[in-house]
Structure 1
Amino acid sequence: MTSAKPAPRVAVVGAAGWAGSRHARAFAAAGADVTVLVEKDDRAYPLAQELGAVLAPGIEELRPEHADLVVVALPATIQPAICADLLNRGFRVLTEKPVAADAEGAAVLAAASGVNERLMIGYTLHQHPAASLASEWVGKNEVITVSVRSVAHKQNVDSWRADPKEGGVVVVNGIHAIELVSSWFDGDPKVLATSSSSSLYGSPVPEHVVTALEFPPGVLFNLQTYWSPWQEPQGLNQGDWSLTIDVLARDGRMLWSNDTVHVWNRDGGHETQSFAPSDLFLRQAEAALKFCTGEAPAVTFTQALRATAIADAVVAAAAYGVKDVVAP
């Protein structure tokens, strides 16, 4: 009789934050043993009690016997150095998107040991069951334009989100769409025009950004991304995030709106596929546990870095009113 295989051990860095706590609970629900919560103060104590985890004040406390995977859920300006340290010590790491607040910040990760093998970037959009369907459809069609509306519900824009070094809504929310759409096309896109506003919350960062890019094949990519104090009736992550991706091609159109995908053919045919709402953090945790056993991540460091470089160009265009910026 063979003994049961022990559950994978997971440590979460930044466990008291919104994303960190969701990661911790998601991994527990996926069957992992959440062994350590890393937080500089006692804010994560109730969560540690709930999950039966040990609290640690810093990553220096982590040892290989503590975790098969370390999840890092911190502001993007802080994550790269911490992830690099963990990688250099031999850990397998899942880091919250983006890979860094900007390409310059990601440079410290580029030189880390195992960055292309032991680092998974947490772009949860890839875990949605519609993502593979959309990517396959795009690959089979001659795309003309991709239009995205991405709205994240936030009652306030404060704390680290209000830090200009974090890049504003483009880097915090719009980067999801930038990463996915850029994975569909080759080459470096050109930023044609960008406008931004900080009027809704009055924070020191761009809260609403509209940008137009063009990929070398001539594909136009229009993105509207903003934070909203109003929660929409439907959305991903329990209604926190409303996403619409509208792809116009020569022979058809695909509209992905939250949990529903519509496809129209040139001959007038129309198909609809709807998916039950799912917890993208849970689906990502399940994928990350497979990553622990050697499976490749949905988003590699190289692809995440490309998305960050594109976001850099959009942020620069928004700040300076520059047009025709090639990214990266």
Structure 2
Amino acid sequence: MTSATPAPRVAVVGAVGWAGSRHARAFAAAGAHVTALVEKGDRAYPLAQELGAVLVPSTEALRPEHADLVVVALPTTIQPAICADLLNRGFHVLTEKPVAADAEGASVLAAASGVNERLMVGYTLHQHPAAALLSQWVRNNDVIAVSVRSVAHKQNVDSWRADPKEGGVAVVNGIHAIELVSSWFDGDPKVLATSSSSSLYGSPVPEHVVTTLEFPAGAVFQLQTSWSPWQEPQGLNQGDWSLTIDVLARNGRMLWSNDTVDVWNRDGSHDTTSFAPTDLFLRQAEAALKFRNGEGPAVTFSQALRATAIADAVLAADASDAEDVVAR
């Protein structure tokens, strides 16, 4: 009789946060052994008891022989240096999106050992079955325009989200759409217009952003991203995130709205595909375990960095009220 393959061992950094706790439970549900939660103090003690993990005060105490994968779910400005240190010490790392608050902040990570082989950037949108369907449709069609509405439910905008260094809603939420849409097109998009508001919560960061970009081949991308105190009737991540991506092409139109995809063809025919609600954190945990075993990540460091550079250009255009800002 052969012995069973041991469960992969996972450590989670920032486990008491909104994303960190979901990561920890998702990896446990995916069959991993969550061995360590990295948190100062005892805030993560109940979760550690639930998962059978030990509490560790800092990432310095982690050793590659004790964890097959480390998940980092911290404020965006803090993540790059911690991820770089983990990579330099030989770990495989799953980091929360975006890869940094801005391209400059990603420089320490760019210089890390194994950044292109042992780093997976956690853009959960790729884990939804509709993402592959839409991406293939875009590749098969001559796209004219993409319109995205991305609304994340937040009762308050406080803590690290209210830190101007974190970039506001375009970096924290809108970056999901920026990354996915930019993966469809080549070249640096031009920012045609951007406007923002922080009047809904009164925080010191942009809470509602509308921007229009144009890719070199001519496709126009309009993004509306915001936080909202009102939970919408339907949404991803257990209703916390309402997403609509509307793609117009010469031969048809595809509309992805949460768990439904509609396709209209030029001949007038119409098809609808509905998906069961998807736990994106669970699907990402499953993908991350495959990544640890040698599969490529859905989003590489270079693609994540490109999305961050585009977000930089959007914020620069809003700050300067300038036109023709190019994301490079």
Superposed pair shares fold, TM > 0.5: yes
Q: Do the aligned partners of 1:7 and 1:33 also contact (CA within 8 Å) in 2?
A: yes
Please, what is the CA RMSD of the aligned residues? 0.5
For residues 13-28 of structure 1, the aligned pairs below 5 Å read 13-28=13-28
Q: Do the aligned partners of 1:190 and 1:215 also contact (CA within 8 Å) in 2?
A: yes
Output one character per residue of 1:14-33: Cα deviation in whole Å (capped at 9) or x when no partner.
Answer: 01111100000000000000
Structure-2 separation of matches of 1:264 and 1:103: 38
Give 1:278 deviation, angstroms. Answer: 1.1
- Counterpart amino acid of residue 162 in structure 1: A
Q: Which residue does the alignment assign to 1:242?
A: 242
- Counterpart amino acid of residue 59 in structure 2: I
Structure-2 separation of matches of 1:79 and 1:41: 19
Q: Which residue does the alignment assign to 1:147?
A: 147
For residues 202-281 of structure 1, the aligned pairs below 5 Å read 202-281=202-281
- Counterpart amino acid of residue 199 in structure 2: S
For residues 1-328 of structure 1, the aligned pairs below 5 Å read 1-328=1-328
Structure-1 separation of matches of 2:51 and 2:65: 18
Query: SS at the partner of 1:107?
Result: helix
Structure-2 separation of matches of 1:139 and 1:63: 42
Structure-2 separation of matches of 1:169 and 1:18: 16
Query: SS at the partner of 2:174?
Result: helix
- Counterpart amino acid of residue 11 in structure 1: A
Give 1:65 deviation, angstroms. Answer: 2.2
Structure-1 separation of matches of 2:323 and 2:117: 37
Q: Give the TM-score taking structure 2 as reference length.
A: 1.00
Query: SS at the partner of 1:277?
Result: coil
Output one character per residue of 1:244-268: Cα deviation in whole Å (capped at 9) or x when no partner.
Answer: 0000000000000000000000000
Q: Do the aligned partners of 1:75 and 1:160 also contact (CA within 8 Å) in 2?
A: yes
Query: SS at the partner of 1:268?
Result: coil
Structure-2 separation of matches of 1:64 and 1:222: 43
- Counterpart amino acid of residue 165 in structure 1: K
Structure-1 separation of matches of 2:42 and 2:139: 48
Structure-1 separation of matches of 2:9 and 2:60: 17
Q: Which runs of 4+ in 1 moved over 3 A?
A: none
Q: Number of paired residues?
A: 328
Query: SS at the partner of 1:42?
Result: coil
Query: SS at the partner of 2:43?
Result: helix
Structure 1 unpaired stretches of 5+? none
Query: SS at the partner of 1:157?
Result: coil
Q: Do the aligned partners of 1:36 and 1:66 also contact (CA within 8 Å) in 2?
A: no
- Counterpart amino acid of residue 57 in structure 1: P
Query: SS at the partner of 2:173?
Result: helix
- Counterpart amino acid of residue 197 in structure 1: S
Structure-2 separation of matches of 1:286 and 1:78: 25
Output one character per residue of 1:120-177: Cα deviation in whole Å (capped at 9) or x when no partner.
Answer: 0000000000000000000000000000000000000000000000000000000000
Structure-2 separation of matches of 1:61 and 1:325: 44
Query: SS at the partner of 2:7?
Result: coil
Q: Do the aligned partners of 1:98 and 1:304 also contact (CA within 8 Å) in 2?
A: yes
Structure 2 unpaired stretches of 5+? none
Structure-2 separation of matches of 1:251 and 1:41: 57
- Counterpart amino acid of residue 249 in structure 1: A
Q: Give the TM-score taking structure 1 as reference length.
A: 1.00
Structure-2 separation of matches of 1:43 and 1:154: 22
Give 1:309 deviation, angstroms. Answer: 0.1
Structure-1 separation of matches of 2:32 and 2:221: 39
- Counterpart amino acid of residue 148 in structure 2: V
Structure-1 separation of matches of 2:168 and 2:261: 29
Of all paired residues, the percent bearing the same amino acid is: 87
Query: SS at the partner of 1:254?
Result: strand
